Amino acid sequence: MSNAARTGCVFVCSRAVRLLFSYFCFINEKVVAQTKEWLFGKNLEELGEIVLRLGMPRFTARQIAAWLYKKGASQISQMTDISLRNRELLDKIYTVGTVAPSAVAVSTDGTKKYLFPTLSGAYVETVYIPEGDRATLCVSSQAGCRMGCEFCVTGKQGLQHSLTAGEIINQMRSIPESGDITNIVYMGMGEPLDNTAEVLKSLEILTSEWGYGWSPTRITVSTVGVLGGLKELLEKSRVHVAVSLHNPFPAQRAEIMPAERAFPIEKVVEMLKGYDFSGQRRVSFEYIVFDGLNDSPGHIKALVRLLDGLKCRINLIRFHNSPGSRFSSPDNAAMVRFRDALSHKGITTTIRSSRGEDIQAACGLLSTEKKQTESQTLS
């Protein structure tokens, strides 16, 4: 689930949408049409198939991976430990790939929101959040989203397309702060587990020794609870998991999150209880607090019952009023009361600070506006 809303949810903003673009600095309006296939985003196995098909030695796959993911090559010609003949051969069919962001908005708190064009003509948003000695990058996994969460701007776009592994990692590779990132959260636009194969491939590239070599404990994938994808994620990776909960009562949850009908939260939690979270791997639940909607004593009781027996934490996110929304924002005192009540019941609960509010927030606003501007220009 796109923490677009989730994180977007985190970056929820009450600013008028029309103000949005006044904050943006367009840094790369021209999107280069790339007709050649990207090498960036391919795993070692795929690179192995490519080099064998082109008649190159198998070890060339490792050399290419090192140039792509360790040495930051932007062109095949830079891969100088590969023979000139083989570089020319590769260059006929492939390109390194990678795309620079086309716009950036900078918040007074240091948060930066980037807009990336995708190969099929959509836009996705990526948020860079520096905080002390940490810097978290929130990446998108889809342009748009088909989960339809009522509170989410991205959900209103519908699904345009799913990103490739290369497009997902490109968001980390192609921002100026790339080298400063300490953590990655898949909480931008889209539902990551509605694009499981590419998300898993991106995780493989991030965490393999031939790739970026990151510890999986630096990565969190968020989801509304797509059951099949969640099982795969739990079994094929060791990254942290964050489930967008928002309401423990199935009927109430379904009202704001249609995905509840296909993936009931009770089944999601039941599945999670079958895995071990007592070590380094963590599971957390994101909970957007809407004033008067999901913050009653009854909700606390139901949350405690639902999560009983699962080692987890809850991250509370204050909903921020937005134009045209039927939801309203709780005040700080209500957030603290809700947190303390859950903590008192033995569930580790934190209030996530809102960042980047002045550059607007809910992921999806920017890409929606950019698309609309383009449509108007074309018509």
C-alpha–C-alpha distance, residues 182 and 67, integer Å: 21
The residue count for binding ligand SF4 (CB under 6 A) is: 16
363 is catalytic: yes
Q: Which residues sit opposite 137 in a β-bridge?
A: 128, 184
37 is annotated as an active-site residue: no
Which residues are 33's β-sheet partners?
Answer: none
Tell me the CA distances in angstroms from 79 to 28, 53, 83, 131, 356, one per residue in order. 26, 19, 9, 35, 39
Q: Which of 125, 167, 191, 260 is catalytic?
A: 125
Contact flag: residue 6 with ligand SF4 (CB under 6 A):
yes
Residue 5 in contact with ligand SF4, rule: CB under 6 A: yes
Instruction: Establish if 219 lies at the interface with ligand SF4 (CB under 6 A).
Output: no
**4 touching ligand SF4, by CB under 6 A:** yes
DSSP H helical ranges for the chain = 7-10, 44-53, 60-69, 84-93, 153-157, 165-173, 196-207, 227-236, 250-256, 259-262, 265-272, 297-307, 332-344, 365-378
Q: Say whether residue 190 binds ligand SF4 (CB under 6 A).
A: yes
Among the listed ranges 46-54, 141-149, 306-314, 318-326, the one in contact with ligand SF4 (CB under 6 A) is 141-149
| CA nearest neighbour of 270 among 236, 226, 306, 313 | 306
For residue 101, give Cα distances in angstroms to 194, 275, 312: 24, 38, 35
The single residue among 20, 68, 127, 145 that binds ligand SF4, judged by CB under 6 A, is: 145
Nearer to ligand SF4, 97 or 144 (CB): 144
Question: For 355, phi and psi rounded to 5 degrees?
Answer: -125, 150
- Interface residue with ligand SF4 among 12, 99, 149, 272 (CB under 6 A) is 149
Measured between alpha carbons, how far is 11 from 215 in angstroms, rounded to an integer? 26
Quote the CA–CA distance of 85 and 187 in Å, as a whole number: 42
The answer to whether residue 163 forms part of the interface with ligand SF4 (CB under 6 A) is: no
* Residue 2 in contact with ligand SF4, rule: CB under 6 A: yes
154 makes contact with ligand SF4 (CB under 6 A)? yes
Q: Which is nearer to ligand SF4, 124 or 203 (CB)?
A: 124
Which residue, 10 or 56, has its beta carbon nearer to ligand SF4?
10
| Residues involved in catalysis | 125, 363
Contact positions vs ligand SF4 (CB under 6 A): 1-2, 4-6, 145, 147-149, 152, 154-155, 189-191, 224
